[in-house]
Amino acid sequence: MEERDRDLEQSEQKALLVLFFFSGVSSLVYQVVWARMLTVVFGTTLLATSTVLSAFMAGLALGSWVLGRYIDRCKHPLRIFAALEVGIGLFALFFPSISANLGNAYGALVGLQGNFYLFSLARFGLCFALLLIPTALMGGTLPVMAKFAVRRLGRLGGRVGQLYAINTLGAVVGVLAATFGLMEGLGLQGTTQAIAVVNFLVAGAAWLWGGQRAVDVDEGAATKETAHSDRILCGVLAGFASSGFAA
């Protein structure tokens, strides 16, 4: 019985890693594609890349923070993951037409064209706000998947470490695939459509699987927070922030 449970656990973990790998692939393909599309808007690769990279970092942080706070109340985290993937895919499909029509929004910025830096900052803010939506959805995938992996499969550090590693590996594959194959072979529009299909396939698998796999719900059980623990937490967060800034 124990051996069968162990085999089931290993099978679930492998399936989880496959889903999260392709989630990582799609995210970084979009990053490369969106940076290329926004080059047309900004007229320069540097500003486009800076905008996309900043939005990705901010969105990942925001999504992870928001979903991390509320996912413990969810009994079927894989279905939340599926919903996030669908949202990412749908946004990606509409992004080419949205970015192509960003010029219409510049009407309100005409008065700033005399000041290059102010005009660039305004364009940056406009595109940053647009990209914050899908990147926040991407950021929410890690705490959601971690919720399922840890609560159902145990071993917090190892499980989350595996998820992060496989998602990062997927990101590397996504960058390479987009740069050296997909965009050249399919074009920006075709690449977006192909990767959106990947999102929908991942979402479908997660939705079907998630309906059969529930996890325990935390009803807000408590933890006593002290001033001492708050200071430790602030110190750890400051360390992570400094490390991220340096990177």
Q: What is the CATH class of 2-246?
A: mainly alpha
pLDDT attached to residue 157:
60
Specify the higher pLDDT residue, 67 or 242: 67
pLDDT of residue 6: 57
Task: Indicate left, alpha or beta for 43 from its phi (over 0: left) and psi (-120 to 50: alpha).
Answer: left
Mean pLDDT of the chain: 77
How far is residue 189's CA from residue 96's CA, in Å, rounded to a whole number?
7
- CA dist list (Å): 40 to 34, 99, 106, 116, 194: 10, 9, 14, 17, 22
Q: What is the pLDDT of residue 152?
A: 55
Is the pTM value of this prediction over 0.85? no
Residue with tokens 């993951």: 81
Q: 135, exposed or middle or buried, with CB in 10 Å at 0-12, 13-18, 19+? A: buried
Cα(164)–Cα(100) distance, rounded to whole angstroms?
34
What is the share, in percent, of the chain residues with pLDDT greater than 90? 30
CB atoms < 10 A from the CB of 140, how many? Answer: 27
